Homo-oligomer: A and B are copies of this chain.
Amino acid sequence: MKIESVDFFYCSMPEVLDIGDGSQDALLVRIRAGGLEGWGECEASPLTSIASYVCPMSHSACKPLKYSLEGKSLNDVEDIYSISRDAQQNSFDLLQANHTLSGIDIALWDLLGKKLGEPVYRLLGYKKSYPKLPYASQLFGDTPEQTFAKALSARDSGFRAIKFGWGPFGKKDVITDAAHLEAARQGAGDDIFLMIDAGTVWNDNVEAAQQRLAALKKINAFWLEEPFTNLSAGAYHELSQSQPSIALAGGEGCNSFEQANLMLKYAGLTFIQIDAGRIGGITVAKNVADVAESQNISFVNHTFTSHLALSASLQPYAGIEKDNICEYPVELKPLARELTLTNILPDENGFILTPEKPGLGMEVNLAILKKYLQNVEIRVNGKEIYYTPSV
């Protein structure tokens, strides 16, 4: 079948707050071919990504994404690999390209899965998928009391793993941070996996991170995530060698295979966290999962948006049995929470499963999409080169 259309839908909550919550807007991609449609989601600035799809060509290595999609065939997995390679080649000087390609690639896999009647993970070569233990991923409270209450609530909801991140953590003194960590552990209880996400707060300041290691050890933190700016591999490595020893997680900011590969090679990570909605899609994320597996580094999804994105982020490592932890956002804004008609829910054992239905196995709620839709129009020299298509 031939790709007939690639459509973007920019959705947003009426009010976007200045907080580290990526579920406040969404860029959905719909690709139609052969009477079917596939859906994907970019974890990206929606307007900027739309511009990267329709912009005029600047030169041979700075082409709009549409150049690599329009009129292409989609019949088997090789077609997706070929489009992914083409897009990266044709647009490698267009910085935004990989964020945009991510949603496109996800939609292509969804579409192909529907055509072939297979869940995406099987098309990726996995024979079966393994259950993942979801960690309730949420922001620190403004005060230790709030953090305590949030931990308690997550535990009461049945989660066996909880992650706190961002908010005030790392921004004030070590004592304040220790109070939040203690509160999180007290609220969660001793039998819960507890992850801590510093949200790159220390840039590349190794000493600032080292000062928190004792408090992290005391609460038996399962990992410390993103202490430093993405790609600060030297700082990561130094921290990985520091005492007391805490497993490091990172990589969500990686926007290409090469970036993730560098982090795998040099950063001393125990966990590599990949967002299929950023790194170039499921195709690139699967490549990272393969390399991580060969180096005995655990692959974990990064997902802070809808369950469409969650399904996409699970596919690349669905079949790796030992990598059994997954990020599971629990504070989604209504837009992200309601964007799919069904959500991926923990089973009675507290595990989640990658959907078995064809493609990503998720259905977009068009009413919700319409409710939050932002109409975009771009003109160059008076000529309309983009307008939001009809739902």
Select which of B21, B48, B253 is within 8 A of A52 by beta carbon: B48
Select which of B52, B63, B259 is within 8 A of A231 by beta carbon: B259
Contact at B265–A234, with CB atoms within 8 Å?
yes
Q: Which of A92-118 contact B (CB under 8 A)?
A: 92-96, 98-99
Contact at A19–B60, with CB atoms within 8 Å?
yes
- Bound CA span A96–B58, Å: 15
- Bound CA span A231–B264, Å: 13
Q: Could you say which residues of chain B place their CB within 8 Å of the CB of A238?
A: none
Q: Could you say which residues of chain B place their CB within 8 Å of the CB of A230?
A: 92, 258
Nearest-neighbor residue (CB-CB) of A229 within chain B:
B258
- Bound CA span A59–B10, Å: 14
Q: Could you say which residues of chain B place their CB within 8 Å of the CB of A374?
A: 56, 380-381
Interface: A205 (CB within 8 A):
no
Interface centre among A48, A94, A377 (most CB of B within 10 A): A48
Nearest-neighbor residue (CB-CB) of A99 within chain B:
B95
Q: Which of A226-268 contact B (CB under 8 A)?
A: 229-234, 253, 255-256, 258-259, 261-262, 265-266
Which of A39-47, A323-331, A340-348 contacts the other chain?
Answer: A39-47
Contact at B58–A94, with CB atoms within 8 Å?
no
- Say whether, besides A95-B99, A378-B377, A48 and B55 are in contact (CB < 8 Å): yes
Q: Scan A352-391; emit 1 where CB is below 8 A from any B CB, else 0.
A: 0000000000000000000000111111111000000000
Select which of B25, B48, B98, B234 is within 8 A of A48 by beta carbon: B48
- Bound CA span A374–B382, Å: 9
Q: Could you say which residues of chain B place their CB within 8 Å of the CB of A258?
A: 229-232
Interface: A16 (CB within 8 A):
yes
- Bound CA span A46–B52, Å: 10
Nearest-neighbor residue (CB-CB) of A304 within chain B:
B59
Interface centre among A94, A199, A259, A262 (most CB of B within 10 A): A262
Contact at B380–A47, with CB atoms within 8 Å?
yes
Q: Scan A31-68; emit 1 where CB is below 8 A from any B CB, else 0.
A: 00000000000011111101110111111111110000
- Say whether, besides A48-B94, A96-B52, A378-B47, A59 and B256 are in contact (CB < 8 Å): no
Smallest Cβ distance from A387 to chain B, in angstroms? Answer: 9
Smallest Cβ distance from A6 to chain B, in angstroms? Answer: 16
Q: Could you say which residues of chain B place their CB within 8 Å of the CB of A381?
A: 374-375
Interface: A84 (CB within 8 A):
no
Q: Could you say which residues of chain B place their CB within 8 Å of the CB of A190?
A: none
Select which of B52, B93, B234 is within 8 A of A261 by beta carbon: B234
- Bound CA span A266–B378, Å: 42
Cross-chain pairs A/B with CB under 8 angstroms, 13 sampled:
A16-B56, A17-B59, A19-B60, A20-B60, A45-B62, A47-B380, A56-B374, A92-B229, A95-B95, A96-B96, A262-B266, A376-B379, A377-B380
Query: 6 extra interchain contacts, Cβ-Cβ under 8 A, other than A16-B57, A18-B63?
Result: A47-B380, A92-B229, A95-B95, A95-B98, A374-B380, A377-B380
